[in-house]
Amino acid sequence: MSVINLSEEQVLELLDWPLVCDAVEQSLRSICETKVNEDQPTAKQPTRVFTPIEKGTLLCMPGFIGNYKLKNLNDSKVFNSLGCKLVTFFKGNHELNPPKPNILGNIFLFSEETGELKAIVQASEITAWRTAAASLVATKYLFSNRSSSPKMDTVAIFGCGVQGRIHAIGLCATNSVDTIHLWNRTKSRAEALAAELNQLRQSFKNPNIKIICVDTVEDGAKNADVIVTGTSTSTPFLFRSMIKTNVHINAVGAGQYHHNELSEDIYTDPDTKIYVDSNDGARSELKTLIAPIVCEVGDIINGRSTAPAGGITIFHSMGMAVEDVAVGQALFEKFKKKSQ
């Protein structure tokens, strides 16, 4: 079996929001422990393994997702995907001459029949897109599908780095957003993202969207219907007094300070409901969370739990190997179709 190698440039050409959101939605469904029907995908996803060395860290994320379909590729084919994402974190890479990314990743896809390696897919763009897609899917089920049928008038992005950027693009590409507020501690970064969004506005559902760089978190949050927090801060910057009663928050990323962006009074508000991508991931990486988790978003997608009718909802996204594997498989299949 010849191994197909997909570069970041090829991956970018293959990526599209409907396909990535479809693969991520199937992944969120798959990891739920309770199987509600025979059409529910299944998953095996061991805990990720970190191997630190003097100059960096290797992260190993194996996963299997089975019995799932990708309606944007083939309505009838049932996929079973085995893979592993390997990621390295080397903080000094950007100082090299020439510089290299600090984070490098590849997804290895294997035949589920023989175990043979069938593809290596570079994963920097996939990681960004699948993380944003998880937020898009969660927003769909936790906010857009509420019985009151709310409109996503205003989106607030706090942190305009890799995740803030791709969340802004994804939300505007898939929803008719009227206004987007951008905030970053270094304002020039928010201004750079605003300039990029202006260039992309013709690809958005609402090309007439207002793109505003705000000076404070409070200015960004006060009218927001959907909020994305994508920073690495260890201290809260978003407080209950800043946000509306009916708001959805996508809290992105895992790690020691994952939930520190949001103040305690948001979590303890009786109208707040917390959802996660994976209970196993939450037990490992949200140990100090002070409020109970309602359920995995996949339980709502599968119909086992009811979507919230209103209030403050928080989606804690930690990232899952099965998302990487499913998206990697989707791009591999799309590449093969285009190559025929």
Domain shared by 298 and 234, yes or no = yes
The predicted structure's pLDDT at residue 285 = 81
Domain shared by 15 and 143, yes or no = no
Angle ∠(11,178,164) on CA atoms, nearest 5: 40
**The residue type at 216:** T
Domain shared by 56 and 120, yes or no = yes
Q: How many domains does the chain have?
A: 2
Residues 158, 77: Cα–Cα separation, whole Å: 40
Q: Are 43 and 322 in contact (CB under 8 A)?
A: yes
Domain shared by 148 and 292, yes or no = yes
Range of 264's domain?
135-320
- DSSP 8-state symbol, 48: P
Q: Domain holding 335: CATH number?
A: 3.30.1780.10
Domain shared by 244 and 156, yes or no = yes
The values of phi and psi at residue 120, to 5°, are -120, 120
Q: Which of 109, 54, 74, 126 is nearest to 320 (CA)?
A: 126
The predicted structure's pLDDT at residue 176 = 95
Domain shared by 93 and 203, yes or no = no
Domain shared by 27 and 171, yes or no = no
The predicted structure's pLDDT at residue 256 = 54
Domain shared by 141 and 285, yes or no = yes
| Residue 278 tokens, joined | 């994976």
Residues 184, 161: Cα–Cα separation, whole Å: 8
The ranges of the chain with pLDDT < 70 are 75, 147-149, 254-258
Domain shared by 58 and 167, yes or no = no
> How far is CA 271 from each of CA 147, 247, 253, rounded to the nearest angstrom?
16, 10, 23
> How far is CA 289 from each of CA 224, 254, 267, rounded to the nearest angstrom?
24, 13, 9
Q: Are 261 and 229 in contact (CB under 8 A)?
A: yes
Residues 50, 57: Cα–Cα separation, whole Å: 7
The predicted structure's pLDDT at residue 257 = 52
The predicted structure's pLDDT at residue 258 = 63
Domain shared by 265 and 199, yes or no = yes
Q: Are 143 and 226 in contact (CB under 8 A)?
A: yes
The predicted structure's pLDDT at residue 146 = 81
- DSSP 8-state symbol, 302: T
Domain shared by 22 and 40, yes or no = yes
Q: Domain holding 251: CATH number?
A: 3.40.50.720
Domain shared by 210 and 300, yes or no = yes
Residues 311, 293: Cα–Cα separation, whole Å: 15
H or E element in which residue 107 lies: strand 103-110
Q: Which of 135, 140, 22 is nearest to 72 (CA)?
A: 22
